[in-house]
Structure 1
């Protein structure tokens, strides 16, 4: 008895039930062939952020937010991005 080989579309359709997705279908989106950064040069001086960071510790309880983190947000990218590929914050 011969078994048939599934088509690529049939194969791909089976993957979502396993909670996986093939990287090769989105790799160009994640790693473009040439750099296309949208982030701009931005600084977050700790001396400027420190008062707000300390204030969050008195205003927001651990029950309200497990981690009181001030995200370093790059203006054109929006939260949670610090750069095109990195998230950073002060805790």
Structure 2
């Protein structure tokens, strides 16, 4: 049997570490790319959400204006019906 020297042990240890480190480095690299992609997607999503929130606020203002107009129309209908009743009473 051949004698193992420190040099042989060091070579085996280096090969073992290389077999472990390289796949881990590739995994870290891929994970970093995925995280960067997710951050980009998050930025796009936040931008879309802010645009939608502005649209919702605008729609809320529009709905309040529509409700106000409906109340005005109801008031005008009431006023017109009172005027109509006054006009029809004079004819009698």
TM-score, normalisation: structure 1: 0.23
| More strand per residue | 1
| More helix per residue | 2
TM-score, normalisation: structure 2: 0.23
Select the structure of larger CA radius of gyration.
2
